[in-house]
Amino acid sequence: MKLLLAEDDPMIGAGMARGLKLAGFVVDWVRDGRTARAALDQGEYTLLLLDLGLPLLDGVALLKELRRGGRDIPVLVVTARDTVADRISGLNLGADDYLTKPFDLDELIARVHALQRRHLGRKQPEMRLGALCVNPISREATLDARPLPLSQREFSLLAALIEKPGTVLSREQLEDRLYGWEEEVASNAIEVHLHNLRRKLGMAWIRNVRGVGYKLVVPPPEAAA
C-alpha cells in the first residue's frame, strides 16, 4: 500500500514515515499543500494522510479541491486541531477519518488499514482468491493454508495484485505501488520480483497480458502447482 503523507512538522513527519515504512507501507512524505497536490496529480496513492495546518496550501483547502474535483482517494486527517467543531468540519469537507495529535502509531496504522478495507468494500482484513489468502495487517500470505515465505517486496507485489483480482496492472503501476520517490528502481526490478513470486506461488497464478501488464488469476487444478 502506497501512502502520501502531508505533514510540515519535521519531527512528527519523520516519525510517522519511519513507523509506517516499518509496518510495510510505501510512504512519500511532502511538507506543504502545493507539493501534496502535485504529488497526487502525478502518482497513484492508496491513501492520503493530511495535516490541516500545511504551508502554501493548507489541508482544508486541499481537501476541498480534492472532493470538488471528484477525487475519491481515502483521506485520514491527522492534526492538532482537536475540538469537536474541527472534527465535524473536517469530516463534512470529505475526510474519511480524523485523528488528533498526539496519537499512538499503532492506532494510526489500524485506521489506515480500516480505511483501505472500507474503500475496497471489504469487512475482513484478509484478501482471498481461491486457495490464496493475503493479510496486509500481519503481512502473512498462505496458499492452501500453508505459509508462503515472501520477502517484503514480494508480499507487497502480491497484495497489489490481489486487491482487485483480475485487474491488469502495468509494470509502471506496480513500480509505483512498491517504491517511493527516494528509492532507486532497477529497470528489471518488477520482473525479478514477479519471477520469484511465481516460483513460490506457482507459475500459473500470475498471468502476463502481453503489452499491457500482469494480473492474478486462479489457475486450473492441473496448473496450480
Q: Residue holding cell 495535516?
A: 51
pLDDT of amino acid 222: 65
Q: How confident is the model at residue 1 (pLDDT cuts 50, 70, 90)?
A: confident
Residue 113, all three cell numbers: 488499514
Question: Domain boundaries in the chain?
Answer: 2-120, 127-223
Q: What is d(CA 178, CA 108) in angstroms, rounded to the nearest whole number?
A: 21
Contact 13, 29 (CB under 8 A): yes
What percent of the chain lies above the pLDDT cut of 70?
98
What is the reported pTM?
0.82
Report whether pLDDT(207) > 80.
yes
| Mean pLDDT across 169-195 | 87
Report whether pLDDT(32) > 60.
yes
pLDDT digits (tens, 9 = 90+) for 35-86: 999 999 987 899 999 999 999 999 999 999 999 999 989 999 998 887 888 8
Report whether pLDDT(109) > 70.
yes
CATH for 127-223 (3.40.190.10, 1.10.260.40, 1.10.10.10, 3.40.720.10): 1.10.10.10
The residue that leads in pLDDT, 129 or 177, is 129
Cβ neighbours around 40 below 10 Å, total: 20
Q: How confident is the model at residue 120 (pLDDT cuts 50, 70, 90)?
A: confident
Q: What is d(CA 99, CA 49) in angstroms, rounded to the nearest whole number?
A: 10
Report whether pLDDT(215) > 90.
yes
The CATH H-level superfamily of 2-120 is Response regulator (3.40.50.2300)
Range with top average pLDDT, 21-25, 33-37, 91-95, 150-154 = 33-37
Give Cβ neighbours of residue 120 (< 8 Å, ≥ 6 apart): 163, 164
Q: How far apart are the first and last CA of the chain?
A: 28
pLDDT of amino acid 49: 97
DSSP helix, strand, coil percent of the chain (3-state; round to 5): 45, 20, 35
Q: What is the mean pLDDT of the chain?
A: 90
Report whether pLDDT(104) > 70.
yes
pLDDT of amino acid 114: 92
pLDDT of amino acid 24: 87
Report whether pLDDT(92) > 60.
yes
Residue 36, all three cell numbers: 501534496
